[in-house]
Chains A and B, each alone.
Chain A
Amino acid sequence: MNILRSYVRKYKKESIIAPAFKMLEAFFDLLVPLVVADCIDVGIAGNDNSYILRCFGILLGLAAIGLACSIIAQYFAAKSAVGLACDLRQAMFDHIQTLSYTELDELGTDTLITRLTSDINEVQNGWNMALRLLLRSPFIVFGSMIMAFTIDRRCGLIFAAVIPLLAAVIALIMRTCIPMFQKVQEKLDVLLRRTRENLTGVRVLRAFCKEQDEIDAFHARNTALTQMNEKTGRINALMNPLTYAIVNIAAILLIRQGAVQVQLGIIQTGDVVALYNYIAQIIVELIKLASLIVTINRSLACARRVADVLAVQPSMTFGKETDDPQETVLTFDHVSMTYPHAKEPALNDLNFMVKQGQTIGIIGPTGSGKSTLVHLVDRFYDADQGTITMDGKNIRAYQRSSLRQMIGMVPQQAVLFKGTIRDNLKWGNENADDETLWQALSIAQAEDVVRRKAGGLNAEVEQEGRNFSGGQRQRLTIARALVRQPRILILDDSASALDYATDAKLRRALRQLPMTVFVVSQRISGVRDTDQIIVLNDGEQVGLGTHEELLKSCRVYQEIYASQGKGASV
C-alpha cells in the first residue's frame, strides 16, 4: 500500500482542498437551522419585518457560499481521483511490460486484466467518494450534536445517546447482511455455471437426453438462490424503518425536553424548531456514511490488489551484449529448469549443440517440456542449473532487445491483434517494406489468405484475429516472425491447424531459408526431415539424433512412431 502513497502525493493539493471545502460547505449547512431559529425568535416574535428579510438574505447567502464551496470541492475531487486512476493504470501497464514470464505466470492474465480495469476504476470511485464524503458526513453528524449542545446541554445529551444507538443498529444490520450478500453471489455463480454448462455441453446433454434432469437441477438451485435473496432482503429492509423509528422517538423526547427548557426560560421556541431540524439531518448522513464505508472498504481491497502487482519485481536482469553471429549458434550444457511451486523439474539435464543453419526438431508427449525448451532459447525463463550459450556467450549477458531481435518466435497459440494485416506483420519489424512483408507471407503460405481479403495488407484484423480461421492465423503468425528476418526461427507446434498439404509446402519453403530453425511438434511427420531431433519425455532428454538414428536407438521415439501409424496421420 505504501507504493500507492507516492501516487496520491502527486495530487496532494487537490486531495486537501477537496475535503476542506466539503467541510466548509457542511459548516454553512449547519448554520441554517440557527438562522431559522433566530428568524422565529427575533423576527416573528418581535414582529420585525426587516429582520425576517435579513434572515432571508442570510439564507440565500449561505446557499450561494455552500454552492461555491461544493463546486470547488467536486472539481478538485474529480481531478484528484481521475488523475490518480489514470496514473495508476499507466504505471501498472508499464510495470507489466517489464515483468518476465515467471511473474506473468504467477499473477495470471485474467487477474492482471481485472486489476487494470475494474479494480482501478473501483479505486477511482472510492477515492472520489472518500474525498467528498468521508469527512463531511461525520462532520455533519457531530456538528449537529455540538450545535445541539450549544443550544441546550440537556437536549444535547439526547443527541449523544441517539448517535451511538443509530450507528450500532446500522452496523449490526450491515454486519449481518454483508456475508449474506456474499452467499447470494455464490449461489448466483452456481446458477451461472449451470447455465454455461448447459450451453457448452448442449450436444452431450441432448445425446444423453438430460433435458428434463437439467431443468429440475436448475430449478432447485434457482429456488435456493431466491430463498437466500428473500432472507437477505428481509434483514436489509429493517434498516430504514428502524433508524426512522429511533430518530423520531428521539425527536419526541427532544421536543418534550425542549418544552421544559422553554418553560424554564432557558431557550426559546425557535430553538426547539432548530433542534428538531438538527436531529432530522443525522439520519440521512449516517445512512450515507454506512454505504460510503462499504464503498471505501471495497475500493481499499482493490487498491491493495493494485499495489500487490506494482510491488512485484521482475526477476530477470539482462546484460549488455549485442548480436555477434558465430558458427555455433547455441549450446545447452547440463541445463535444468523447474517452474516455481512445481515439484518436478520441467527440464532435466539437457545437452545439445546447434550449428548455424541447422533445423532442430523437438518431439515428445504433451507436458514433456517441449515449449519450455524453446522458451529457454528466447530467455523467457532462466535455467536454474547449467548454462545456455548463444554465439559463444552466456545468454544472460545479452541485452533484452537484441536477444529478442535475433529470434523469430511463432507461439503455440496463434493470435493476431486489432489493426490491419500490415500492422500485425510489422510487429516483426517496424521498418519492413511491403516487399519484405509479401516475401514473408509467401514463405508462410499465407499469400493467398491476404490476397483473398479485400484490402490486401490493409485488410482489418479484429481483436485477437477473430475474423481469421485457426489455420489462417497460424500462417500469418509465421509470416509475422519471418518479417523480422531472424537468425533463429522457433515454431512452437505452429502448424497444428494446417491441412497436411499446406503443412508440407510450408516445411519445404522453410527448408530453403538460411536461418536456424527449431520445430516443436507432436507428430513424427513434423520433425522427421530435420538435422537433429531432440526427444523429450517427462523433461528428460531421452534421444538426440536424426530420424533414422532415433528409430533404431530411442524407445520413446519408436513408441510415438508406432502410435502414429508409422509416422503418417491423415
Chain B
Amino acid sequence: MTQKETVRRILQFIRVYRIQVVLSLILAAVSVFLSLYIPILFGDMIDCIVSPQHVNWSLMGINGRRIFVLIIGYAVSTWTMNVINNHIAYQVVKDMRDQVMEKIQCLPLSYLDQRETGDLVQRVIGDIDQISDGLLLGFTQLFTGVLTIFATLVFMLVKSVLITIFVVVCTPLSFAVARFIASRSYRMFRLQTQTRGRQTGLIDEMIGHQKVVQAFDHQDRASAAFASLNDELHAYSWRAVFYSSLTNPCTRFVNGIIYAGVLVFGARQILAHALTIGGLSVLLNYSNQYMKPFNDISSVISELQNALACAARVFELLDARPESTDPAAELSDVKGDIAVCDVNFSYDRNKPLLRHINVHANAGRKIALVGPTGCGKTTLINLLMRFYDVDAGSIRIDGMDIRDVSRASLRRSFGMVLQETWIRQGTVRENITLGKPDAADEEIYAAARAAHSYEFIRRLPDGLDTVLYADSLSQGQKQLLCITRVMLVHPPMLILDEATSSIDTRTEVLVQKAFDALMKGRTAFVVAHRLSTIQNADWILVMKDGQIIEQGTHASLLAEHGFYAQLYNSQFQA
C-alpha cells in the first residue's frame, strides 16, 4: 500500500466526523490568532507608558480589559478544540478497532494460523494506539503549527519589514544545525537499538532459562557474553544520548543570536521612530517563540510517519480476504453419517499432505485415528469443522456436501474437544455456557456431573461464579471443563483430540470416563493416544505421511502384522 493510499484510507475513517473537523480547524485558527494578537496588545499596553511622567491610564485600562477578554476567549477556544480533537481521534480509533475485530471473526483460519498471535494483537492494540497518538498530535499541532508560522510572519511584517526579513533569513540556520545533529545521533540511535535488541535476545535466553544456565555451570560464560554486549551498548548509548541532547542547546543558541539581532535592529528602528518600545517587546516575544512551531511540526511529522506505518499494517489486516461466503442452506436433523470422499489437502501447495483420503463413518460409530506426529490426524479435524476447505474431493454429512451448508450449522452439529484446552479469563459459568449462554444452573450442573467436572467446580471458592485465570486450573481440570462445555449442547457428532501428555492418574480416569459418556450414541472421530480408546473404537484408521495405510479393528489390525502391529509392539520391545 502506498503512503498516499494509506492517507486516503485514514481520511475515510475521519470523514464521518467532518463537522467536528471543520469546527476544530476554525477553533485552531481562532486560538492561533489570539495567541499572537494578545502579545501585540501587551506591547500597546507597555506603550501607554509614554514617559516616566506620563502614563496614558485610560488607554491602558481599555487594553487591559481587552486582553482579559481575549485571554478568556483563547482559553475557551483552545480547550474546546482539544476536546473536539480528542473526540475525533478516539472515535476514529474505536471505529478502527471495532472493524478489525469484526474482520478477525471472518478471516479464514489459514490466514490466522500463518501469523503470530503477538503480531496480530500488536496490530489491534499497539499499532492502533500509535495511530491515535499520531492523529491527536496531527490535529492539535500540525495545523496550529503551520498557522502559527504564517500568522507570526504577518504580524511581524505589520510591525517591521526589516526585522521580519532578518528573522526569515536566519531561520534556516537553526534548521541546518538541528538536522546536522539529528543525522549524527540517528546513526547512533540505530546502532543503540540494534545492540539493545541483541542484548535483549541474550537476556531472554539466559535469564529466561537461567535454570538451564546454572545446570550447565554456564554462569561465567553467560556473564562474559553479556559484558561484551553491554560495553558495546555503552559506547553507542552515551553517544546517542549526548548527540541528541545537543539539539536543544544548539537551536537555543541560534535563537539567542536571532534575539540579539532583533534587539539591535529594533533599537535602531525605535531611534528612527519606525517602532515603539512595546512593538519591540512584541517582536522579541515572537522571535523567541517563532522556532517552537517548527520543532513541533518536525516531531509531529515523525510521529505521523510512524502512525502511517502502523495504519498500513492495520489496513493490511482489514484488507485480508475473508472466508468464502456462506451458503444459506442449514444442516438440520443430523443423523451423523460422515463420508470423506477422496480428499486431497495441503497447507502449502508445494507440500502435499493428505492424499486420496476415504473414510465412511455410519451414524453412531466411533472412529479412532492413529499414527505418528505430523501424519495428518489433526488436519482431518480442520477439514471436518471446515476450518479449512479440501483441495479436492468432498466431505459429506448425511449425504450433504459440507460446503453447501452454512458453517454455523455445520459447526453446531459437531462437539469439539481439542488437545490444547482453551479457557478464557472469566467465570466458570461463562466458560461452560459458551455454546448455550442461557443455560440454567441445573442444566450446567447436569452436564458437569456427566462430564465429571462437578466435584472440582463445587470445591472452587465461588462455584460456577469463580473467575478463572490462565493457571487457576490443572491441565486435567481444564480438559474436564472443555468436555462439560460440549456436554451441555448435545451435538450429534464429535471430534475429540486426546491429550498426549497424561495428567494425574485420578483425573485421567475421570477424563476417560467423561469422553466415554460424551461419545455414547454419537458419531465420533477421535485422535487417539490411549490404548483403551483405541481398543474400544469401532474402527481404527492408521495414518502415515498423509495417507491411510491400514484400517480395521484392533484385533484385525494386530493380525495383519503391519505398521499398526509394529507401533503397538514397539512399546514392549523396549
Contacts and interface: CB of A to CB of B under 8 A. Distances in A.
B103 to A, nearest CB: 10
A44 B266 CA distance: 10
Given A222-B97, A245-B75, A229 B90 contact: yes
B441 interface: no
Contact of A366 (B67, B373, B504): B504
Nearest to B67: A252
Given A66-B252, A82-B237, A200-B117, A208 B434 contact: yes
A208 B242 contact: no
Contacts of B505: 365, 556, 559-560, 563
Given A63-B260, A525-B571, A565-B530, A249 B71 contact: yes
B350 interface: no
Interface stretch (B163-171, B300-308, B331-339, B495-503): B495-503
A326 interface: no
A191 B97 contact: yes
B385 to A, nearest CB: 6
Given A109-B208, A245-B72, A211 B238 contact: no
B114 interface: no
Most buried by A among B90, B250, B414, B482: B90
Contacts of B49: 258-259, 262-263, 269, 272
Q: Which residue among B104, B214, B418, B572 has the maximum number of chain A CB atoms within 10 Å of its CB?
A: B214
Most chain B beta-carbon neighbours within 10 Å: one of A82, A234, A240, A367: A82
Interface in A461-505: 463-464, 471, 480, 484, 496-497, 499-501, 503-504
A569 B489 CA distance: 31
Given A132-B245, A241-B78, A418-B205, A97 B572 contact: no
Contacts of B574: 503-504, 507-508, 525, 529
Contacts of A507: 574
A128 interface: yes
Contact of A117 (B200, B370, B414, B530): B200
Nearest to B115: A199
Q: Which of B205, B407, B529 has the most CB of A within 10 A?
A: B205
Contact of B271 (A47, A249, A427, A529): A47
B374 to A, nearest CB: 8
A276 B280 CA distance: 13
A378 B414 CA distance: 49
A71 B217 CA distance: 46
B412 interface: yes
B78 A214 contact: no
B30 to A, nearest CB: 12
A569 B531 contact: yes
Contacts, number: 417
A414 B531 CA distance: 27
B149 interface: no
A375 B251 CA distance: 61
A127 to B, nearest CB: 11
A207 B74 CA distance: 57
A500 B567 CA distance: 8
Interface string A212-256: 111100110011011001100110011011101100110110011
A147 B231 CA distance: 46
A64 B424 CA distance: 63
Contact of B534 (A484, A556, A570): A570
Interface in A433-483: 463-464, 471, 480
B222 to A, nearest CB: 6
Nearest to B491: A207
Main secondary structure of the interface of B (DSSP, over half): helix
A464 B411 CA distance: 37
Contact of A56 (B213, B264, B509): B264
B422 A256 contact: no
Contacts of A207: 385, 411, 414, 416
Interface string A497-525: 10111011001100000000000001101
Given A233-B83, A365-B506, A201 B424 contact: yes
A214 B101 contact: yes
B223 interface: yes
Contact of A208 (B90, B217, B411): B411
B567 A233 contact: no
Interface string B65-109: 001100110111011001100110011011001100110111001
A138 interface: no
A291 interface: no
Interface in B520-574: 528-532, 534-535, 567-568, 570-574
Interface in B476-529: 476, 482, 485, 489, 500-506, 508-509, 512, 528-529
A98 interface: yes
Given A90-B226, A233-B83, A273-B46, A209 B412 contact: yes
Contacts of B434: 204-205, 208, 210
A570 B72 CA distance: 80
A358 interface: no
Nearest to A231: B86
Contact of B101 (A36, A198, A367, A566): A198
A113 B203 contact: yes
B260 A229 contact: no
Contacts of B252: 63, 66-67, 70
A36 B412 CA distance: 82
Most buried by A among B203, B218, B233, B528: B203
A262 B215 CA distance: 82
B13 interface: no
Contacts of A181: none
A190 to B, nearest CB: 9
Interface residues of A, number: 162
Nearest to B91: A226
Interface string B242-263: 1001101110110011011101
B531 A199 contact: no
A23 interface: no
B474 interface: yes
A508 B434 CA distance: 47
In this complex, the member of A210, A226, A400, A566 whose beta carbon has the largest number of chain B beta carbons within 10 angstroms is: A226
B310 to A, nearest CB: 15
B475 interface: yes
Nearest to A524: B571
Contact of A464 (B205, B280, B503): B205
A510 to B, nearest CB: 11
Contacts of B98: 215, 218-219, 222
A64 B256 CA distance: 9
B267 interface: yes
A170 interface: no
Contacts of B407: 206
Instruction: Give the most central of A60, A209, A225: most B CB within 10 Å.
Output: A209
Ranked nearest first, the 10 interchain pairs of A and B with the lowest CB-CB distance are: A63-B256, A565-B531, A365-B504, A237-B82, A59-B260, A233-B86, A241-B75, A70-B249, A97-B219, A82-B238
Interface of B: 38, 42, 45-46, 48-49, 52-53, 55, 57, 60, 64, 67-68, 71-72, 74-76, 78-79, 82-83, 86-87, 90-91, 93-94, 97-98, 101-102, 104-106, 109, 112, 117, 120-121, 124-125, 129, 200-223, 226-227, 230-231, 233-234, 237-239, 241-242, 245-246, 248-250, 252-253, 256-257, 259-261, 263-264, 267-268, 270-271, 277, 280-281, 284-285, 370, 372-373, 385, 387, 407-408, 411-412, 414, 416, 418, 422, 424-425, 434-435, 437, 474-476, 482, 485, 489, 500-506, 508-509, 512, 528-532, 534-535, 567-568, 570-574
Given A59-B263, A499-B372, 7 more contacts: A56-B261, A94-B223, A204-B422, A207-B416, A230-B90, A237-B82, A464-B209
19 contacts: A67-B256, A97-B210, A117-B203, A204-B416, A206-B109, A212-B105, A226-B93, A241-B78, A245-B74, A263-B53, A366-B504, A409-B212, A411-B211, A415-B212, A464-B205, A563-B502, A564-B502, A564-B530, A570-B529
